[in-house]
Structure 1
């Protein structure tokens, strides 16, 4: 169907008016108090990363001993040897663990201990300084399991419960920067817990089957909560093993944590 000239002109005029008015929209809007404010999203501001208090305290203790003051450490990429790929979780398709970016946790922990840190995971530095040690990490294994499962639905009605876990192991190594001879190594294991509970309903309504279900899930963040604390603990472990003064002053603060992870006092 062909458009008449009059209709075409009317649509053209309306489009031109729309474009001209769009350029006149006020970039500010009236706020709750009557003042002008920017037209931006009302999404919450970025939150602050919450540290593990005990591990932060032991890093501060190492800093206070002064054993790392003036000592330079090189930090390289954090390797992932688990070989595990996440292909099912909503919004998490890809690797379960960050690829290389966890080196930032190494840098943060070393800085808190008072050390000078040379970051090499962004490339080699243009100006080199004498570096005594290198600290690197690797994710060794990532295993999954289900500790309990319950489904007591009768005729489609009843509760559902499932509890599972993931077991992550990682290694932090402290090597001589020049020779690559290993000085200290810390092996950390971290369980990640998962819980789901809910229920199901199924009824025959006038010959028509009506079903429904509900559920609640609670899972620790595998890519954050399970990583930053254990990596910092591994850094504290290798530093206290390398520097006896720091070990004598600070080891008692995390002795139980390191024993649990499989590194008893020697």
Structure 2
């Protein structure tokens, strides 16, 4: 069952989402060769709690940490450890928070220093596909419209689109209806209505779309061990159109990047 939200509830969800946005922005300056994902996880937990929230992932389904940290060929759900990041790595950082009784949940894939051109392109296309999908999240459209848009965009560049893992509705629980696949057929699936809130999250592989799971019961990686990228935003339908609840602006501010990619999805300018 889809749980629609009031405007007041959407604003509470925005606060939860921005806890994550600010945490990812803080981490952006810390992602560098030599740092371990466990160190980043500790920083994130402290930063989330300092904002009056609690980590959304810690203990969820018995997950042991505050961040899902998935480098290189790991797609999602990687467990933080003491292995240092290296120059040329990429690392998907997926972060969750609970504030006001609602979840925030989004992700960004960072380059560690300089990365190979083919990896840089994978990151670029995957992030672009996120916004391609978000444009389809509006009243009257359907789940398949979002999935088709993302799939078509990424497969046209020769990339593999993961099928087994999908985006999802978001609210007082981490995973609400509907599931939001990154593949699909136009005009199929549940219809979008005013007040829906979802997490849209393309998981795109440099090679095959096929995946495997490690024996830890969590870590997902590509079957061919080629790189994978993952970007995620929290989005609500407001006045019939998609409105971002999360932002990458804190990341870009930390990294000195100028971007207007989010402007079309905001009713008013974001003040950092």
Query: Higher strand fraction: Structure 1 or Structure 2?
Result: 1
Larger radius of gyration: 1
Give the shorter-chain TM-score range: under 0.3
RCO greater where, 1 or 2, for CA within 8 Å and sep 6 or more? Answer: 2
TM-score (norm 1): 0.26
